[in-house]
């Protein structure tokens, strides 16, 4: 396998669904670090949330936030760094940022429009920090950071499949997108797959031939899994793989969350 690059989801994949721990993935993480393989986090989490986990992981690679809304590349990582055609680089807190998503204020306006049309949705922007902590299982400190969003609005919508279909149609009619992880997410014209494509292009420019690997657990990971050479799906907390994920060449790892992450990478990387 030549020049592997790993793209990974966090919640329910590298991180345990309930404890947010990556301890069960430590053997594979140690191997990845020892071999100098880039580990690129692609999560629905915000920049500050991902930075906290990058520090714990001693990870210094690029990452993608809020379901592909933003790409953050540490200064000097790709030198020289030339933005892909049609995209713009901005500097932010030691990173070069590429923005793919719609501004958060625009997403909040769409949430209000949808509510006025009869959809009973409750976004993170409608909740207090304590309420976000309650629905996520995060501490209040972590929940406060989770509410500092730029490109993605997670929300609750308790409805049947028919009502969800109508919501998807209403969102599409407004020119926006909907995806699902642990929560529903309102997005602009972005997803994890588009962010992976941009980053993979930058790695190819740097290294030539690369082998791309991605690991996820849910529907919002499908665009990412579709864009890589080795797509890997880990089991959900109920012990089954998400049946909605249909990707050519998909490897269904044995193990829930970080346990499946660990097993799959140890086997793949040998």
Residue 133 belongs to a domain with what CATH number? 3.30.980.20
- Same domain for 113 and 25: no
**90 bridge partner residues:** 97
The per-residue pLDDT for range 247-257, each reduced to its tens digit, is 999 999 999 99
Q: Are residue 15 and residue 88 in the same domain, yes or no?
A: yes
User: Can you tell me the distance from the alpha carbon of 49 to that of 189, in angstroms, rounded to the nearest whole number?
Assistant: 22
The torsion defined by the Cα of 44, 47, 48 and 54, in degrees rounded to 10, comes to: 90
Q: What is the pTM of this model?
A: 0.91
Question: Domain limits at 136?
Answer: 104-187
DSSP 170-191: HHHHTT-EEEESSSEEEESS--
Q: Do 196 and 97 belong to one domain?
A: yes
Clarify whether residues 158 and 53 are in a common domain.
no
Single residue among 137, 159, 187 that ends a domain in this structure:
187
Does one domain contain both 94 and 198? yes
CATH number where 51 lies = 3.40.50.1000
Q: Which of 187, 218, 240 is the last residue of a domain?
A: 187
Band (pLDDT 50/70/90 cuts) for residue 181 is: confident
Q: Which of 187, 220, 237 is the last residue of a domain?
A: 187
20 and 61 within one domain: yes
Query: At 7, which helix (H) or strand (E)?
Result: strand 4-8
Active centre residues (catalytic): 9
Residues 32 and 83 in one domain: yes
**Predicted confidence band of residue 82 (pLDDT cuts 50, 70, 90):** confident
Stretch 225-242: mean pLDDT: 97
Calpha distance 97→72 (Å, rounded): 5
Number of domains in the chain: 2
The answer, yes or no, to whether residue 227 has pLDDT greater than 90, is yes
Which secondary structure element, helix H or strand E, spans residue 132, and what is its range?
Answer: helix 129-136
89 and 163 housed in the same domain: no
Beta strand pairing call for 63-65 and 95-99: unpaired
Output the 3-class SS for 21-74.
CCHHHHHHHHHHHHCCCCEEEECCCCHHHHHHHHHHHCCCCCEEECCCCEEEEE
pLDDT in tens, 12-54: 999 998 899 999 999 999 999 999 999 999 999 999 999 999 9
Say whether both 86 and 206 belong to one domain: yes
């Amino acid at each position: 396998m030549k020049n592997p690059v790993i793209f990974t989801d966090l919640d329910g994949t590298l991180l345990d669904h309930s404890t947010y721990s990556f301890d069960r993935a430590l053997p594979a993480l140690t191997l990845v670090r020892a071999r100098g393989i880039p580990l690129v986090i692609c999560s629905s989490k915000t920049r500050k949330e991902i930075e906290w986990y990058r520090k714990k992981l001693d990870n210094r690679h690029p990452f993608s936030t809020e379901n592909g809304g933003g790409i953050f590349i540490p200064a000097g990582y790709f030198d020289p760094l030339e933005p892909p055609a049609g995209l713009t680089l901005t500097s932010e807190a030691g990173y070069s940022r590429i923005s793919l998503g719609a501004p958060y204020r625009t997403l909040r306006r769409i949430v209000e429009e949808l509510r006025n049309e009869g959809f009973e949705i409750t976004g993170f922007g409608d909740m207090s920090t304590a309420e976000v902590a309650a629905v996520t299982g995060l501490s209040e400190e972590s929940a406060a950071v989770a509410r500092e969003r730029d490109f993605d609005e997670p929300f609750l919508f308790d409805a049947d499949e028919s009502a969800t279909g109508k919501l998807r149609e209403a969102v599409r009619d407004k020119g926006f997108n909907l995806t699902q992880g642990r929560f529903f997410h309102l997005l602009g014209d972005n997803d994890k797959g588009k962010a992976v494509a941009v980053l993979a292009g930058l790695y190819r420019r740097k290294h030539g031939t690369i082998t791309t690997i991605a690991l996820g657990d849910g529907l919002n990971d499908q665009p990412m899994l579709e864009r890589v050479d080795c797509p890997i799906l880990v089991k959900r907390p109920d012990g089954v793989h998400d049946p909605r994920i249909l990707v050519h060449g998909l490897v269904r790892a044995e193990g829930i969350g970080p346990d499946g992450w660990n097993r799959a990478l140890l086997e793949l990387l040998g």
